[in-house]
Chain A
């Protein structure tokens, strides 16, 4: 079955540590996205990529970095510069159609600072 796989499901970060969240898709989608969701709040866009080796900052990119070396993969690194990283992180991908993009989501990853 095609889909989006995020790992790990739960991750703990120590102060000053960088951590990387994995996102892999086998849907052959060109665009991929990272969103952050805080409890009781909506989704905020961190980074997105429309094509391999290219990505753009979203609304809250500070303290995060990404890479897009392969079409299938879009890992997110939460750096020590991100002062409040505890949140639920959602990876997504979308396929372009003339009628508009449809976005599909992974199951999410919980990041907690300890």
Chain B
């Protein structure tokens, strides 16, 4: 077990709604990254937060937004949900934002948009 916890584990939303996913990073870790993993695909990088500021973003529209709090926990918010947003959302925490830092992943939140 990595110490990275995500909530909720499963979620069903209706198209057009908004959703907030949460991640508690491993103790001492100041960096959180979010990934979207569609069924049968590898994870796709959404964005990374380092010391409460966005530190990089993948090819996702602005309706995907995030926050990192002083205790380094994080939220992923998705507005105007679309059917294609159905996926497993993974959070990973690490100490520092350098490439040679190991990231520890949570179990993910399975989001289904109907």
Chains A and B belong together in one complex? no
